[in-house]
Amino acid sequence: MESEKLSNIIRRRRSVRVYKSGKVTDKQLEMILEAARWAPSGANTQPWELVVTRDRAKMRRVRQIYDNEWKQRKKEDPVHYKGLKKDYVGDVSALVLVCGDPRTMQVYLTTRQPGDREKLFHASVANAVEHMMLMAASMGLGTVWVSVRQEVEPELRELFQVPQPLRLLWIVPIGHAQSWPKAKPRRKTSDFVHQEVYNPKKLRADSEIRPWPKG
């Protein structure tokens, strides 16, 4: 059944942070980008703009930008800062810089509050990223969601010549995983699904809020 195939792809997707050599073909990349095209978006605004590079020099520069940011944050808080290094952005076959056009929020005619417009805008672009990741996973390719934080945004904007008013949101590396990560523990659906009304007994204690649920 097609639904079973899709379920397997969803379960297979991983955040890959170690890559090996191997090319993502033009056809594969085309299919991944085509998947983004069919993502749902608020008012069908399709706010995503994708900058794709295979240029090794650009990838090395992206790695340097993230490495400098990591070193600076580690220097500021050497004991508590636990951020992961992102050297892998220089080791893949392709990088996709995911941008969003905030002018599309003007089209949300029934959404008056700025905060609601932001939610819809970010969800729309995130849908496109998830579509790309699932298509890549279906091909056995690895991806990972890399945030474009304020500290790195100006240099990335200059490197990829992204004009205002576009926002730089995420970078998605695409490549061949050196090893396919094991699935992290997941909460049971019964832990987070509520029938008709929210069940307060399921509200997690502060001590249970972690980077991911531990088994």
| pLDDT tens per residue across span 148-161 | 999 999 999 999 99
pLDDT tens-digit series, residues 16-33 = 999 999 999 999 999 999
Prediction pTM value: 0.95
Lowest mean pLDDT among 85-94, 106-115, 140-149: 106-115
Structural domain spans, the chain: 2-183
Question: Which residue, among 149, 156, 215, has the nearest Cα to 188 in the 3D structure?
Answer: 215
| 120 bridge partner residues | none
| pLDDT of 56 above 60 | yes
**Tens digits of residue pLDDT in 102-120:** 999 999 988 889 999 999 9
Burial of 7 (0-12, 13-18, 19+ CB in 10 A): exposed
pLDDT at 214 over 70: no
pLDDT, averaged across the chain = 95
| Banded model confidence at residue 213, pLDDT cuts 50, 70, 90 | low
Name the CATH superfamily housing domain 2-183: NADH Oxidase (3.40.109.10)
Q: How far is CA 185 from the centre of its chain?
A: 20
Q: Left (φ > 0), alpha (ψ -120 to 50) or beta: where does 43 sit?
A: left
The answer to whether the CB of 112 falls within 8 A of the CB of 31 is no
pLDDT given for residue 110 in this prediction: 86
Question: Which residues does residue 53 pair with via DSSP β-bridges, in sequence order?
Answer: 95
Q: Is the confidence at residue 94, as pLDDT, over 80?
A: yes
Non-local CB neighbours of 199 within 8 Å, separated by 6+ positions: none
Predicted confidence (pLDDT) at residue 210 exceeds the cutoff of 90: no
What stretches of the chain show up as alpha helix (H) in DSSP?
A: 2-12, 26-37, 56-76, 114-138, 153-160, 189-192
